[in-house]
Structure 1
């Protein structure tokens, strides 16, 4: 019988992976800032068209802009943490599902141990 089990994926931080992550975070920040500007423009446009619903429009857009600003702060924090992260350390990179074959008589405790896949510069270096 086969079962599906979640397996953690961890990345080993190298200069290349730091540069790639830095670029990803900066791109996310840039896109979120653009979305904020676009939302502000749309807000002004809608407020101008529907002056009787100005408070409702302002509240709705404020919520959306605030959400994106929180995401910007989070990505800036991750950028700061990336800079102080030493090369060679491991960071979590999510989980994948693995299919494991089980048979009668197998030790369940061995199967329920947490498995990990270690990746360095896009290449799997270790499976534990």
Structure 2
């Protein structure tokens, strides 16, 4: 029998991986900024429509804009923490699903033990 298990992917921090992660943060920040601008534009457009409650439109849009601004603050915090971490630190960057073979008589503790994949500069160096 096979079971599906979530396995964390950890990345060893090097100068090149640090640059890649920062670039990923920058792209996500730009995307969130664009979404905030688009939401503000859509809000103004809807507020001008007759028969639409301006308070309701503002409430709904401000909630979405606020959520994205919270994500921006969180990304900025993560970027600051990334600058503090020393090289060779392990960062959990992703999760993947893995199929695990389970047979009668297998040691359950060993089957469910903590598994992980460790990546350094784009190459898998350990799969435990």
TM-score computed with the length of structure 2 as normaliser: 0.90
Aligned to 1:27: 27
Q: Does 1:76 align with 2:80?
A: no
Poorly superposed stretches of 4+, deviation over 3 Å: none
Of 12-21 and 104-113, deviating more is 104-113
Matches within 5 A, 1:6-45: 6-45=6-45
Aligned to 1:117: 117
Of 21-30 and 97-106, deviating more is 97-106
Aligned to 1:106: 106
Deviation at 1:51, TM superposition (A): 6.3
The 3 A distance-change label for structure 1 pair 103 and 29 is: same
* Two-structure CA RMSD over aligned residues (Å): 1.6
5+ long unaligned stretches in structure 1: none
The 3 A distance-change label for structure 1 pair 51 and 116 is: same
The 3 A distance-change label for structure 1 pair 101 and 51 is: closer
Query: How many equivalent residue pairs?
Result: 128
